[in-house]
Structure 1
Amino acid sequence: MTQPKKTIFVTVGTTKFDELIATMLSREILEALSSKGYYEIILQIGKTSFVPDCSSRYGFVNIEYFNMTANILSYVQNADLIISHAGAGSILDALECKKNLIVVANQSLMDNHQLELAEQLYKDGYLYYCTCETLLNTIQTMNFSKLRPFVNERSKQIAKLIDQIMGFSS
């Protein structure tokens, strides 16, 4: 029996994280994800002038991107795997939608307190957490059946509070 074809949604939020987008489109990452039944990637690339190569390759029949959208949640809901920057809103959207989630830390950000949230949720067993350098190993070893389901009806308020404290929103 063949595995169902699965979709990945990659989000960098309102930031610029070209390293994650470039890493996602590398041969090693695409081959590793294809071997696990993924065949489509949708990239939300944020505030950047970087233009990703969206040619079909390494088992992926569809690779597409956009910069920003007001309807990000629909992409989250329609994906089988979310690969996200460490933004509180992006993390909590994926967890609330009960999606498999890999959070990738942007190591170029100095004093990034968002990483503390991702690290804690990783320690609590809700998601995988890595850097661009360790993403391939994370993909090769991920086992989402070992993660715990996330239950928190107050996460929207928590995300808003964290963003306010960090100065990301008013």
Structure 2
Amino acid sequence: MIFVILGTHELSFVRLLNYLEKMDIKEDVVIQSGNTPFTSKKYKVIPFLAQGEFDEYINKSDLVITHGGVGSIFTAFKYNKKVITMPRLSKYNEHNDDHQLEICEKFDREGYTKNCTDYDTLEKSIKTYKDIEFKKYKFDNSRILNYLNKIILE
């Protein structure tokens, strides 16, 4: 199963959903669409999910396709999922700036995700995700803990 996460940002992200709708994906696809109104003849679309339902879908999935929100990306990492990102872009009026692009490009460069910004790279990534070896993200709070410890002790 493929779980698609659009987050809860108030601006629409219909570009990603239109891309998916044009594709012939053989797997079940569940989309958390947030504030992007969308209906599909192919896929299950749910605007908002309670945390337990969200966790259930992400746990069942083989692949997570997500916008560039760090919360969504880190949640997929927490569940050890393969992750394809498609950042919301300001040029399409999907976000106020391009910070998601910067985040997604960095995760891609470091081998944790596959970042896509257009139809062709998204389609290719979905078709080949089972063959892609992603680096496993290691959560490490030692730097923040050391920083907090330093502040507290000073």
Q: State whether TM-score is above 0.5.
A: yes
Aligned residues with identical type, % of pairs: 28
Larger Rg: 2
1:65 maps onto 2:45 in alignment: yes
In the TM superposition, residue 68 of structure 1 has moved relative to its aligned partner by 0.9
Does the C-alpha gap of structure 1 residues 113 and 51 become closer, same or farther in structure 2, counting only changes over 3 Å?
Answer: closer
In the TM superposition, residue 103 of structure 1 has moved relative to its aligned partner by 0.2
Give the aligned partner of residue 52 of structure 1: 39
Does the C-alpha gap of structure 1 residues 82 and 41 become closer, same or farther in structure 2, counting only changes over 3 Å?
Answer: same
Q: Distance in 2 between matches of 1:9 and 1:119?
A: 21
2:88–2:100 CA contact under 8 A, matched in 1? no
In the TM superposition, residue 91 of structure 1 has moved relative to its aligned partner by 0.5
Give the aligned partner of residue 121 of structure 1: 107
Please report the TM-score for the alignment, with normalisation by the length of structure 2: 0.76
In the TM superposition, residue 137 of structure 1 has moved relative to its aligned partner by 2.8
**Greater strand share, 1 or 2?**
1
SS at match of 2:135: coil
Please report the TM-score for the alignment, with normalisation by the length of structure 1: 0.70
Count of residues paired in the alignment: 133
Q: Distance in 2 between matches of 1:145 and 1:94?
A: 16
Unaligned 5+ residue runs, structure 1?
1-6, 56-62, 158-170
Give the aligned partner of residue 6 of structure 2: 12
1:19–1:132 CA contact under 8 A, matched in 2? no
Q: What is the root-mean-square deviation in Å for CA atoms of aligned residues? A: 2.0
1:40 maps onto 2:36 in alignment: no
Q: How does 1:16-165 map to 2 (within 5 A)?
A: 16-26=12-22, 29-30=23-24, 33-34=25-26, 39-48=27-36, 50-55=37-42, 63-71=43-51, 72-107=54-89, 108=92, 109-133=95-119, 134-142=121-129, 144-154=131-141
